[in-house]
Structure 1
Amino acid sequence: MPTTLVAEESQITNLNLMFGASGVKCNELVTTLSSEATTFDIIQSIIKTKTTEIHSPFSVLDLRVVIDLMNKWKTNLPFVKPFYAVKCNPNISFLGALASLGSNFDCASPTEIESVLSLGVSPDRIIYANPCKSEAHIKYAVSVGVNITTFDSVGEVEKIKKWHPKCELILRIKPKEETGARFRLGLKYGAFLNEVPELLKAADMAGLKVTGVAFHIGSMGANTQAYRGAILLAKTVFETASRLGMPKMKILDIGGGFSSGSKFDEASLNINDAIKSYFENEDDLIVIGEPGTYFAETTFTLATKVIGKRVRDELREYWIDDGIYGTLCRTVYDYFIVMCSILRFDSKHKYDTSEHTKTYPSTVFGPTCDSTDTILKEYPLPELEMNDWLVFSNMGAYTTACSTNFNGFSSSAKNIYVSYSS
């Protein structure tokens, strides 16, 4: 069985130092809050105290949530080293926090690698987890010392042999069973089991070392039992390599698709049990995972301002300054549950967050001229006025990372407040 991952107290200390007044490593605004304060409290405080300089929309990155999630990961999956999937949210402050807490990184492009390296992270803490890379990008990996990558085709072997012959390879395989995931990454990547011998032989003949196996069961709604079948399939690939007389594999990459809710507990049980069952005698096994949404989703909260209003009988229509082409891009998917709160700004310049008995069916539009830029339809909201605020929770995963500057409007990515406990 693999070695247990142990959390160090110094990592938390380093995190606080990194975001202290004298040690900020980012261009974003940093604020402290008491351990009892909520993210909603800090948003109210930002709006109240920075009325003349506040740029809306803005997001709050709560480092307390990052710490809690890392602690939970290390408790639930003590044998699995986290390699955060940078594509999920590449915010530099967020990456810095994860690095200080001991995370490694899954990068899919030179830009992502460059961001991680800029934080002082060693290149041996990066896996280039993209099974198909351009030759120029492979050359970049060589130049910065990133020496492990994924592959799933003979063509990729040939490119790596030519441009990065010292690189270690991890074979990406396709899980056999239907996992129920809304985003089935196996449609694009992963070798079938019957393709494995040819790929292993091609890498061996090229003089490249295949050091492990990777898979991804898909994201959003995947059946966590699928981890068991995928880990068993990976074990089959380990055995195939051994029969072919290749060097012993040492890395099992269980991919991503993790959420931070109750399904994470369920997934952890299945993963731990499968590793124990199928890799019990592999004492030097290194298990890694590629969590993205798990760390990013609940860590960011978005604050947007009401910039327009229209009343049509009982219907209320509002415009806010972020939308589906910006941070709120995920709201177009039917699986995404919008968690929206309000901050009302009354004539006495006080913020009112009390419950209101009277609500109206409300439509909330984004700022662009595209009529599909609609965030909420017939959503029950109290009467809102210009310069009131709508606050959206769980806005960290595939939000700003997927946003655009369509129509000249940018997302909250440019305005981030980093909050942590003093």
Structure 2
Amino acid sequence: MAALDPKRYDINILENGGTVREFIDKKIDELSLADCSEPFHVADLDDVYKKHLTWSENLPRVTPFYAVKCNTTPAVIRTLSALGTGFDCASKAEIELVLSLGATPDRIIYAHTTKPEAHIKYARARGVHMMTFDNQDELTKIARCHPSAKLVLRITVDDSSSLRRLNLKFGARPAAAGGLLRRAGELGLDVVGVSFHVGCMCSDSRAYRRAIADARHVFNTMGFQMSLLDIGGGFPGSDNFPLKFEEIAECINVALDEFFPPDCGVQIIAEPGRYFMETAFTLAVNVFAKTVTMEDAAEHNEGDPDIVMMYYVNDGLYGSLRFFINHPEFGERRYRSVIWGPTCDSMDRLTDSCLLPELQVGEWLLMDATGAYTLSVSSNFNGFERATVFSVVTPETWRALSGVKNVVCLCIKHYKKKKKKKKNSYKFFFKFCQKFQ
């Protein structure tokens, strides 16, 4: 895959057995020499690659269409394109991005049920035909702007077991599907399938089974010759989530075999985002300020005042960090600590109380699992720059992505290879978990 140019996409190849942590060490040294302390992400393309292999092993019938909104880093998009994934796009800009990075129009689903007319016309001009809908007004727009579109009806499903529910905003009630499909027929539009989304970070695998059964009912009763089922997203991106990806995959496979058996002629796709991105990114931030305060601790049944450390780091809620800290144990004395982002907004607080060793101004903190919905929602509020991204990959994975011979054997060998222990170069390493309201 010659088009994946490491220089063009700022991809750094880890030579001589180098690790991601060693790369971060070196990058911090380089920044220090240049008198720079701006935050930066490191994207581990090996992690993306291994997630692809895990998906293929556990959901062999389901083609992933990566949710571009999760993270738009060019090196990541290009890697996924090289691996043959499709792309779930929600706007003209996202379609334009993935097409510019190697995707073909047939590997894109315009998966937004309410689209501006100009964006629909753009999709038509670029040969993107597959798109979702859930209401009659959208059908009217599509008939006017893209009459040859291949439509996918999004239905509502039970998302009560998910941390972030989506079905209040998107989807048609299954009972209303008949009327929508009749209207599509009157407009001469081609409905090719059904889609759903069980919500973000679903904690009950049975939600997928119920949703697949609902989709089968729509297939059976609507009279259209449909050939596509889109099972949406909601897949966890790390092992810290209570419900494991493998458990979800097992439930999906059983449901698909029951309601959409392999010989039924229906293509199955999904829209994972967090699954691919969450653990692939590590963020490095710098402590640029510190305040020590004393707080009466009588309410905590302690005789002495509490020392409270307040640290200010150069990325926060308006940048990459809509997260809270799940901190590890430390063997030295720890203090109640508050960590603030860099802006003047008092809401820009990363944690209001955690126990940490004393930090010094100028030290760096590494924040793990920061790849999902961080960069894509960041801003430069107060003039603070967004974090830079450096992408890294091992030579072995690079050769596989570049199309060397025996790529299947190479992938399996790489996947089963034991991880080397990372060099713990910094005193403090934080695990971050998504914070939901």
Q: TM-score range by the shorter chain?
A: 0.7 to 0.9
Q: Which residue of 1 aligns with 2:256?
A: 275
What is the one-letter code of the residue matched to 1:361? Answer: R
Residues 338, 392 of structure 1: 8 Å contact kept: no
TM alignment of 1:270-349, pairs within 5 A: 270-280=251-261, 282-313=263-294, 314-331=307-324, 338=326
Summarize the Cα distance change of 1:406–1:338 in structure 2 as closer, same or farther, 3 Å threshold.
farther
Alignment: residue pair count? 378
Asked whether 1:378 is paired with 2:353, we answer yes
Asked whether 1:366 is paired with 2:341, we answer yes
Asked whether 1:418 is paired with 2:391, we answer yes
SS at match of 2:163: coil
Counterparts of 1:228 and 1:300 in 2: how far apart (Å)?
A: 31
Q: Which residue of 2 aligns with 1:351?
A: none
Q: Which residue of 2 aligns with 1:87?
A: 69
What is the one-letter code of the residue matched to 2:394? Answer: S
Counterparts of 2:166 and 2:69 in 1: how far apart (Å)?
A: 14
Q: Which residue of 1 aligns with 2:203?
A: 222
Q: Which residue, out of 181, 193, 197, partners 1:200?
A: 181
Q: Which residue of 1 aligns with 2:299?
A: none
Q: Which residue, out of 153, 169, 189, partners 1:188?
A: 169
Q: Which residue of 2 aligns with 1:45?
A: 26
Deviation string for 1:339-370 (max 9, x for gaps)?
Answer: 689xxxxxxxxxxxxx6512211111111011
Q: Which residue of 1 aligns with 2:115?
A: 133
Q: Which residue of 1 aligns with 2:38?
A: 56
Residues 305, 387 of structure 1: 8 Å contact kept: yes
Residues 183, 219 of structure 1: 8 Å contact kept: yes
Q: Which residue of 1 aligns with 2:382?
A: 407
1:389 offset after TM fit, Å?
0.6
Q: Which residue, out of 241, 254, 257, partners 2:234?
A: 257
Q: Which residue of 2 aligns with 1:18?
A: 4
Residues 169, 210 of structure 1: 8 Å contact kept: yes
Residues 330, 399 of structure 1: 8 Å contact kept: no
Summarize the Cα distance change of 1:78–1:380 in structure 2 as closer, same or farther, 3 Å threshold.
same
SS at match of 1:327: coil
SS at match of 1:309: strand
* CA RMSD, 1 decimal: 1.9
Residues 203, 209 of structure 1: 8 Å contact kept: yes
Q: Which residue of 2 aligns with 1:110?
A: 92
Name whichever of 383-392 and 257-266 sits farther off.
257-266
1:33 offset after TM fit, Å?
4.8
SS at match of 1:114: helix
SS at match of 2:41: strand
In structure 2, stretches of 5+ residues that fail to align are 295-306, 396-437
SS at match of 2:84: coil
Asked whether 1:100 is paired with 2:82, we answer yes
Deviation string for 1:303-354 (max 9, x for gaps)?
Answer: 00010011124211111100111000244xxxxx54689xxxxxxxxxxxxx
What is the one-letter code of the residue matched to 2:103? Answer: V
What is the one-letter code of the residue matched to 1:324? Answer: L
Counterparts of 1:85 and 1:319 in 2: how far apart (Å)?
A: 33
Residues 181, 221 of structure 1: 8 Å contact kept: yes
SS at match of 2:310: strand
In structure 1, stretches of 5+ residues that fail to align are 1-13, 332-336, 342-354
TM-score by length of 2: 0.83
Q: Which residue of 2 aligns with 1:119?
A: 101
What is the one-letter code of the residue matched to 1:253? Answer: D
Asked whether 1:393 is paired with 2:379, we answer no
Counterparts of 1:178 and 1:268 in 2: how far apart (Å)?
A: 17
Residues 31, 37 of structure 2: 8 Å contact kept: no
Deviation string for 1:115-134 (max 9, x for gaps)?
Answer: 10111211111000001111
Counterparts of 1:193 and 1:29 in 2: how far apart (Å)?
A: 46
What is the one-letter code of the residue matched to 1:251? Answer: L
1:271 offset after TM fit, Å?
0.5
Residues 277, 372 of structure 2: 8 Å contact kept: yes
Residues 340, 393 of structure 1: 8 Å contact kept: no
Counterparts of 1:279 and 1:400 in 2: how far apart (Å)?
A: 37
Q: Which residue of 2 aligns with 1:346?
A: none
Residues 205, 248 of structure 2: 8 Å contact kept: yes
1:52 offset after TM fit, Å?
2.5
What is the one-letter code of the residue matched to 1:396? Answer: G
